[in-house]
Chain A
Amino acid sequence: MVDWQYSESIESPDIVSIKKKYSNYIGGKFVEPKSKKYINTISPSTEELLSKVPLSNEQDINSAVKSAKVGLEVWSKLTPNQRSRYLFKIARLIQERSREFAVLESLDGGKPIKESRDFDLPQVAANFFYFAGWADKLDLSWATKSLKPYGVVGQIIPWNFPLLMLAWKIAPALATGNTVVLKPAETTPLTALLFAEICEQAGLPPGVVNIITGDGSTGSLIVNHKDINKIAFTGSTQVGKLIQKSLAGRDVGLTLELGGKAANIVYEDAAIDQAVEGVVNGIFFNQGHVCCAGSRLLLQESIHDQFVKKLEKRMQSLRVGNPLDKNTDIGAINSKEQLDKITSLVNEGVEDGGELFQTQCELPGNGFWFRPSLFTNVQPSYSIAREEIFGPVLTTLTFRTPEEAVEIANNTEYGLSAGVWTEKGSKILWTADRLDAGVVWANTFNKFDPSSPFGGYKESGFGREGGRHGLLSYLKASS
């Protein structure tokens, strides 16, 4: 018997040159912030300072919005075919520089290189290719309606999939003829700023894409700017509600993609080993920083013990550590703030009476880390069964019948996604029909495609991203 340890296999960070300090990208130029203020962005896996980015103020937002209006003059006069060609060019450039983007995404955000390389970047390129294809076919998209773009769109994106969320926002907005002011998240601004270089390389007309960095106050300035015609936000439900309040009574479009607490329902007649894999992927993908994560495992009572045993064994083989190691499955928690939130919810779960299993792995000394965790013996009333933890923490509930499974699954304020596991096709359809969720995965989880619309019900938000439906989020009926 040997204890075979894998040697380190580090993706070299040398491919990326990170500047000491970044500027906003406004009107096709990198512009120092008028605020003269900067915020630090660190690597969550080492806590080392990576760079400084602008903390933009009202003047900065004003000039970004102004530039987007100028950009709109040019962008709207291009033929759809010309707009399409720019988007195709961006997609190809992203593919060419994908290794660079992947490394930077893992450095700045903490996600394993395996995921940024094999999931995030291919998806980013795919989204630009997909919407590039739509740009000159909009007349075919909604034949009965006469539609036009909103104009200047403000886009605020989260830190869990920084570049992918940028692609979800920018690609459909540009394809439909809008121009954008985008703000990446405070903790993960670097890939968005590298994307600004792609816009330059593609020769995109100045002002079509404007990228400004900052914190929550910057986001709020964008939301409240008088010349913004539409806001697209992905983030927490709490902030989503504030945005909706700010926009009430104003003629500004809004789409919100917010939190989730997805049920992943495993029936006794599921292919158990594959269901275990799906449940692991559902909650531990991207450290559980996924709004559609399968964070509530609903197990049929008859298979509970067997399933939990297999799940714990599988969790034990997850490799936690350096995001740039190609063999890392779980990287760093994105920020100290998020780590504190996860820790406090887990402690509350234990106090409530939940039984906690955590994998026994060595964690690096510096940086923000959390062991893959599984709660059993949880009651639906516990906060770990109701609140979005947004971390590598799975909560197990049990059910007796399909009716009960659906009832528990829908017993939440959220409605973003859900999973169903059974080898019986009719049971999949019966269950999916009754789940209040924007996406229902059957015998799989966390699968995405640019052609498939994504979005929520209830407090998970409204509007759809991706697919033909995603176009409609950036078009309005013309008067």
Chain B
Amino acid sequence: MGNIKTSDLSMQWSNVLEMVYESRIDSVGLNERVNSLATRSIKKDSKLEALNMIVTMCDLTTLEGEDTEGKISQMVAKAIKPNPLDTSVPSVAAVCVYPSLVAIAKEKVQNSNVKVAAVSSYFPSGQVPMESKLLDTKYAIDSGADEIDIVINRKAFLEGDYRKVYDEIVALKEVCQDVHLKTILEVGDLKTYENIRKASLISLAAGSDFIKTSTGKLSIGSSRQACYVMLKSVLDFESMTGVKAGIKVAGGIRDAKDAIRYLVMINEEMGSDWLNPELFRFGASSLLDDVLKQIKKLKTGAYQAGYYFPRG
């Protein structure tokens, strides 16, 4: 099972199982820590620095049945130059689209450093045979995707078939090879902190480059609590294997204030290594607009209306 690269990164199944069954989390204590981090007061220079970081960590996303070439063109243009009137605002990390739109997005990003990410493996439900998931992923990669966001098999996970969850990720990672693999846990389906930790460890052990909170398609999206569970899993995985994996939070993060709270958590719990688009991302559609407004406000004191900022 797995090619050389995958087995280098992944752990023996017995080790994975042992870790999974030792997942102990006290929700009261966890909430207390997360809430206490949320009281950090980020002002002035440190706020501007944070807002710029958030832009560079953004995966600007559109995942709708109504997506067209025109929509993708608009979004990519905004991703490359989020605010044409303030060139100090950096580009975002990536645009995130469905596989059938990857080729168009790839063509539009051209020479910019904006990457193209595709959701695959029959995002968001993943309720298809494995062959289809592999094909879906292969299609996205062949179309030029730099990054692949897959969903874990929640059916298998909730049925307790952790091995199946693991094997599927390993197989998808094989298809990805060097293409960056982000594995979506869909924390809104997993519900408990223990489940989030188990799914995190399984996904990391199977060779995911990133673990990601949500598809954004459920009413329960990302939460700072879920992110905390995931970051602790990433740190424990690092201390066992030396591998630094990344985290992407997505689903329901709409304002800069909330995003800064995630950054504070990453900064204080993981350290500055993770304050980096290579290891931390925000998946969002409307977050960027609020961040641009806040940058403007910090620089000029004026909180401008939405129509001052270009549509994406």
Contacts and interface: CB of A to CB of B under 8 A. Distances in A.
B270 to A, nearest CB: 10
A327 B53 CA distance: 20
B43 A274 contact: no
A278 B30 CA distance: 10
Q: A271, A278, A423: which has the most chain B beta carbons within 10 Å?
A: A271
A114 B232 CA distance: 25
Interface string B13-52: 0000000000011101110110000011111111101100
A423 B239 CA distance: 23
A270 interface: yes
B39 A114 contact: yes
A4 B39 contact: no
A4 B264 CA distance: 9
Given A277-B29, A277-B32, A2 B49 contact: yes
Given A2-B53, A7-B43, A270-B24, A317 B268 contact: yes
Interface string B211-244: 0000000000000000000001000000100000
Q: A2, A3, A269, A278: which has the most chain B beta carbons within 10 Å?
A: A2
Main secondary structure of the interface of A (DSSP, over half): loop
B272 A4 contact: yes
Interface in A426-452: 443-444
Given A2-B49, A327-B40, A444 B29 contact: yes
A137 to B, nearest CB: 31
B53 to A, nearest CB: 7
Main secondary structure of the interface of B (DSSP, over half): helix
B267 interface: yes
Nearest to B233: A273
Interface in B230-269: 232, 239, 263, 267-269
B47 A7 contact: yes
B298 to A, nearest CB: 11
A469 B276 CA distance: 54
Contacts of A271: 24-26, 29
A327 B44 CA distance: 14
Interface string A103-134: 00000000000100010000000000000000
18 contacts: A1-B272, A1-B275, A1-B276, A3-B272, A4-B275, A6-B46, A7-B45, A271-B24, A271-B26, A273-B25, A273-B30, A274-B25, A274-B30, A317-B268, A326-B40, A327-B40, A443-B28, A444-B28
Given A4-B49, A443-B26, 7 more contacts: A1-B272, A4-B53, A4-B267, A8-B44, A274-B25, A274-B26, A309-B239
